[in-house]
DNA sequence: TATTGTTATACTCTATAACTATA
DNA sequence: TATAGTTATAGAGTATAACAATA
């Protein structure tokens, strides 16, 4: 099936479709570790932001509190992370366990293999450009702070 | 929450995250039409590939036959598309109805507004570059047809 | 034998709403 | 009043497995 002129021009479709292909490969690659790409992302975010609470994790992942709960439960049940007392009595401070630290490195190695396979058609410069452009999406246009009409 | 060095480098994460932001905006924009971004994609694909069968539609969308069935049922129930006799007695040929043709144009207008809002920070050239790079993902590296070691 | 459509079923992911403890 | 965590429930979306009809 061919993508017509409209689909070729809708950036959201192109981004979403490429993302789907990348995630499908990542999912298959991570399957032996019994962890999904989204859960691996959560694990990495907790590692890089130790002491964060569940609500902040959810916001970073684009899901709500109760969905974040499920991710945290999954990771905690597998002893990859633990809930420690947070800044007040309502909040949990999320941290990787020693076992989590060890496993995240191993899984990350496999994830990088998948990522490099899927980006093999791009030069290093192209990858840099791609990521820079992706990170501009969903943000207001830059025009020196002046108000546009 | 901050994206650490690993997440910044994993292209699949960046693509998937940007795609999520784009799709979230598209979903909210299309909500009044009571159609999801994925279903709208299916509708556009059928319009641009009239006479295709359900299996081909599924492959184009990255889902299997039974999932494609649900999409086709949804669109057919709303009289946006119809199943006509296909190239043999097993297959359906999918076509937009006159009503579907009318509606797809209206929905597309709204979808473009969302897409342009989310890409407002990029120049026209940057959008072209972004789409070109996205379309290289998930394909083997180009090296003039010569075999790499 | 293989393919297409179809159906039933189950699983994953997510959201909503309500509740509690705390702020 | 507002916020964090929690729980139960429901709704999408998808996959698997089976079957009938056709190739």
DSSP code, position A32: G
Mean pLDDT value across residues B88-117? 98
For the cut 90, the answer to whether the pLDDT of residue B3 exceeds it is yes
- Is the distance from CB of A82 to CB of A76 less than 8 angstroms? yes
> pLDDT of A21-74, one tens digit each?
999 999 999 999 999 999 999 999 999 999 999 999 999 999 999 999 999 999
Nearest chain A Cα distance for residue B144, angstroms: 12
For the cut 70, the answer to whether the pLDDT of residue B144 exceeds it is no
- Is the distance from CB of A92 to CB of A55 less than 8 angstroms? no
For the cut 50, the answer to whether the pLDDT of residue A149 exceeds it is no
> pLDDT of A63-109, one tens digit each?
999 999 999 999 999 999 999 999 999 999 999 999 999 999 999 99
Sign of CA dihedral B73, B76, B80, B81: positive
What's the longest Cα–Cα distance across chain B? 56
Instruction: Please check whether residue A41 touches B, CB under 8 A.
Output: yes
Residues of chain B neighbouring A25 (CB-CB closer than 8 A)? 12, 138
Whose CA is closest to B8, among A23, A127, A123? A127
The residue among A117, A134, A135, A147 with the most chain B CBs within 10 A of its CB, best to mutate, is A134
Residue A139 has what pLDDT? 75
- Stretch 51-110 of chain B: residues touching chain A, C-beta under 8 Å: 52, 56-57, 59-60, 62, 108
> What is this structure's pTM?
0.94
Q: Contact A12/B24, CB-based, under 8 Å?
A: no
> pLDDT of B56-83, one tens digit each?
999 999 999 999 999 999 999 999 999 9
**Using the CB atom, is residue B51 less than 7 Å from strand C?**
no
Q: Among B6, B15, B48, select the one facing A134 at the smallest CB separation.
A: B15
Residue B143 has what pLDDT? 53
């Amino acid at each position: 099936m061919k993508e017509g002129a409209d689909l070729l021009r809708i950036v959201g479709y192109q981004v979403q479709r490429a993302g789907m292909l990348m995630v499908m490969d990542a999912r298959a690659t991570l399957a032996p570790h019994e962890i999904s790409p989204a859960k691996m992302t959560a694990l990495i975010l907790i590692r890089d932001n130790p002491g964060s609470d569940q609500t902040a994790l959810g916001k970073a992942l684009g899901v709500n509190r109760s969905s974040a709960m499920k991710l945290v439960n999954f990771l905690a049940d597998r002893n990859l992370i633990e809930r420690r007392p947070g800044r007040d009595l309502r909040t949990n401070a999320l941290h990787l366990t020693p076992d989590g630290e060890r496993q995240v490195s191993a899984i990350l190695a496999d994830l990088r293999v998948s990522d490099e396979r899927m980006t093999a058609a791009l030069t290093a410069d192209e990858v840099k450009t791609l990521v820079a452009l992706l990170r501009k999406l969903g943000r207001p246009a830059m025009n020196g702070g002046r108000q546009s009409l």
